[in-house]
Chains A and B, each alone.
Chain A
Amino acid sequence: MALDKTQIAQRIAKELQDGYYVNLGIGIPTLVANYIPAGINVVLQSENGLLGMGPFPFEGEEDPDLINAGKQTITTVPGSVFFDSAMSFGMIRSGKVDLTVLGAMEVNQDGDIASWKIPGKMVKGMGGAMDLVASAKNIIVAMMHTNREGESKLLKKCTLPLTGVKCIKKIVTDLAVLEVNNGKFKLLERAPGVSVEEIKSKTEGDLIVEGDIPEITF
C-alpha cells in the first residue's frame, strides 16, 4: 500500500540524527516534527527567524508575534533564539543547517527541483526555497510520486521553472525512497506491498534497481 502523508513524514524522521539543525518546509515536511525518534534531539529552524520551534500553542495561547514560515502560530522550546531574516539565511547559506526537507512539483534525475511556479497558472513565488536548495548540505524532497493527473513527478528533465539545480540527494514519496545517483534515480526502498514494477512504471526518469529492494519500515 502506498504511504499516506503522515507515513512519508514518519519515514523521513528516521533520517534525523542527534544534534541536527533542521529546516522543514510547508506541507508534508512540517509533519516530520511529529515523529522525531526518542532519544534524538534536533533543533528546528524556521526561516522567518527562529531556532527552536516547538509545537502548536494550546487553544487560547496563540501569540500573533510568534509564527513559523508557513504563517502558523507556534511555540518555542527551551534554548530557542530569534533573529532577523538576513541572519536566518546567513546560517542557511553558510551550511550550518544540517538537513532541509521540502516539497516539490517535479524532481529530475540530475537532482534539479521545480517547486515555485506553473507558467500561466500559478505564481506564488519561491519564498526561501531557492536559498535553501542552493546551500543545504543535505536535502530530502517529500512529495507524491505522481501528480493529480497520474503523471510521474520523477523526471528525466523538469518541465517547470527550476528552483535549484543538482541539489537534491534523496526523495521520499508515497511509493518509494530514492536517491539521485550519477544522473539516475536509484531505488532504495519501496512502500509496503508496492512492487518494483509499479514504481518503475510511475517513474519517468531512469531508475536503477539493484538486488532485492526492501520495504520501508518505520
Chain B
Amino acid sequence: MNKVRKNAIEATFDIKDGCTIMLGGFGLCGIPENLISALVEMNVKNLTCISNNAGVDDFGIGLMLQKKQLKKMIASYVGENAEFERQLLSGELEVELIPQGTLATRCMAAGYGMPAVFTPAGVGTEVAEGKEVRNFDGKDYLLETALKADFALVKAWKGDTHGNLIFKETARNFNPVMAMAGNITIAEVEELVPAGELNPDHIHTPGIYVHRIFKGVNYEKRIEQRTVRKK
C-alpha cells in the first residue's frame, strides 16, 4: 500500500481538462487549500466543480474562477463571490444550485453504494422540476440520484499513511461525505502520521475511501466573517 504523495502537484497529476471534481469545505472553512493551488498552477480547464460554496473572489474556488477554469459549478450557496455572479450572469459559467442537505446526502448515497435517495427538500419548488415525486406516509419526496466525482479533494486535520482521516471542529462539514464519493479521493492533512498512531476509535473517515494522502503546507485558513466580542 502506497498512498502517500509528496505534495499536491504529485497527488493531482492525472486531473485533466473536463474532469468532475468535488471539494470539501463550508465557505472557506476546511477547504483543500493545497489542492486548489495545484489545480490553479496546472491550469486545468473545463472543470465541473461540486462544492457547497464557490469561495470568495481571491481565495478558495474563487482562484479557479479568476482563471476561468470552471465550466460548471454545482453548489448550494454562492453569495460571497462577485466574479462568480459576473460569470453566471454573462453565461460563461453553468450553475446548478441544489439544497445543502440534498448535496450532502447525494454524496453520502454514493459512498454508501446507493443509487438514489428520497428527500422532501425542494418539493413544490423549481428544484423539483423533472424529478420523480413519490409519496410515503402522506408526504411527498423527490428522488435525488447519488452524486459522484472523478476526483474528491478533501482536507483533514490528521491523517495516517493508510489514509485514515480525523477532522477538526466545523472544518469537517462536507469533507467526510465527499471523501466517500470520489472515484479517486485525495486528502491533504495538516499532520501525517504512520499507520497505527491514530486511535482507531477516533477516526472519522476510514482509509478505504482515500486513495492518496499528503501533508499540506502553508495553510492560510482565511476567516470569512471575523465576529468577536470584547473581553
Contact = CB atoms under 8 A, between A and B. Distances in A.
B170 A56 contact: no
A128 B172 CA distance: 17
B77 A165 contact: no
A108 interface: no
B228 A125 contact: no
A65 B170 contact: yes
Contact of B119 (A55, A69, A93): A93
B48 interface: no
B101 A131 contact: yes
B225 interface: yes
Given A65-B29, A65-B30, A86-B108, A57 B122 contact: no
Contacts of B119: 93, 131, 134
Contacts of A134: 119-123
Interface stretch (B8-16, B173-181, B191-199, B208-216): B173-181
Contact of B121 (A66, A82, A83, A135): A135
A107 interface: no
Given A85-B173, A126-B100, A74 B107 contact: no
Interface string A156-190: 00000111111000000000000000000000000
B223 A62 contact: yes
Contact of A49 (B77, B170, B225): B170
Given A49-B173, A64-B223, A130-B125, A56 B100 contact: no
A63 interface: yes
Interface string B165-206: 001111111111100000000000000000000000000100
Interface majority SS (helix, strand, loop, mixed), chain A: loop
B226 interface: yes
A67 B104 contact: no
Given A67-B224, A82-B172, A59 B177 contact: no
B103 to A, nearest CB: 8
A65 B171 contact: yes
Interface residues of A, number: 53
Contact of B225 (A61, A70, A85): A70
Contact of A123 (B97, B169, B175, B231): B97
Contact of B221 (A50, A64, A129, A166): A64
Interface in A1-35: none
Contact of A66 (B88, B125, B170): B170
B79 A162 contact: no
Contacts of A125: 75-79, 97
Interface string B117-131: 001111111110000
Contacts of A82: 167, 169-170, 172
A127 B170 contact: no
Interface in B128-180: 157, 167-177
A65 B168 contact: yes
Contacts of B77: 124-127
B226 to A, nearest CB: 6
Interface centre among B99, B122, B127, B175 (most CB of A within 10 A): B99
Interface of B: 26-30, 52, 75-80, 85, 88, 95, 97, 99-105, 107-108, 119-127, 157, 167-177, 204, 221-231
Interface of A: 46-50, 55-74, 82-86, 88-90, 92-93, 112, 123-131, 134-135, 161-166
27 contacts: A48-B170, A49-B26, A49-B173, A57-B228, A58-B228, A59-B231, A62-B226, A65-B168, A65-B170, A67-B170, A73-B225, A73-B226, A84-B167, A84-B173, A85-B103, A89-B100, A89-B105, A123-B85, A124-B77, A125-B79, A126-B100, A130-B99, A130-B100, A130-B122, A131-B121, A135-B121, A164-B124
